[in-house]
């Protein structure tokens, strides 16, 4: 395997972070277009609601705060509602207005931490992998998590777009 220079590494990290931020911006733009009623509706009959997906994406991004060692979650209560349990589980959910607020607050904090990271930090282990496992599998690093979360978010943006046609 070829070695890379620090400028190539920095460029790759910038590309990955920019792609992640682009997905966040796509969610932001959709949220600006979608009404609360549209978000409360199901993506398709019997499928997740837009509000559930917004809560899910918010909970996933909130999980990045402790996963990367930045801070505790801002909204730990979202874990059970939007990650552990499916939509329509009967659990009380925050209002759409609250979910919109949580989404913006989580991402504001996350972006400030991500923007402050040094290149080398991206290749360190995240907090869900042990030092022993990381020594054997160094690809289980923070940058890999961000890449995974970027594609995960893009998938759900594709679902949320379907709500634009509903009124």
How far CA 20 is from CA of 91, 106, 139, in Å, comes to: 30, 14, 18
pLDDT value at 166 more than 80: no
* C-alpha of 113 from chain center: 14
Q: Model confidence over 22-53: pLDDT tens digits?
A: 999 999 999 999 999 999 999 999 999 999 99
- pLDDT tens digits, one per residue of 81-113: 999 999 999 999 999 999 999 999 999 999 999
Instruction: Write down the pTM of the prediction.
Output: 0.95
Give all domains of the chain, ordered by start, each with its CATH number: 21-165 (1.20.120.450)
CA atoms of 103 and 4, how far apart (whole Å): 36
């Amino acid at each position: 395997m070829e070695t890379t220079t620090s400028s190539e590494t920095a460029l790759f990290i910038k590309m990955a972070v920019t792609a992640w931020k682009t997905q966040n911006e796509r969610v932001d733009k959709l949220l600006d277009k979608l009404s609360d009623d549209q978000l409360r509706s199901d993506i398709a009959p019997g499928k997740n609601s837009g509000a559930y997906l917004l809560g899910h994406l918010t909970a996933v991004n909130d999980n990045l705060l402790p996963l990367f060692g930045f801070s505790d979650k801002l909204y730990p209560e979202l874990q059970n509602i939007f990650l552990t349990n499916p939509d329509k589980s009967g659990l009380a959910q925050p209002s759409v207005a609250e979910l919109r607020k949580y989404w913006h607050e989580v991402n504001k904090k996350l972006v400030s931490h991500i923007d402050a990271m040094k290149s080398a930090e991206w290749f360190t282990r995240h907090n869900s992998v042990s030092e022993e496992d990381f020594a054997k599998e160094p690809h289980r690093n923070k940058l890999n998590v961000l890449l995974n979360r970027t594609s995960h978010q893009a998938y759900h943006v594709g679902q949320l777009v379907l709500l634009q046609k509903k009124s």
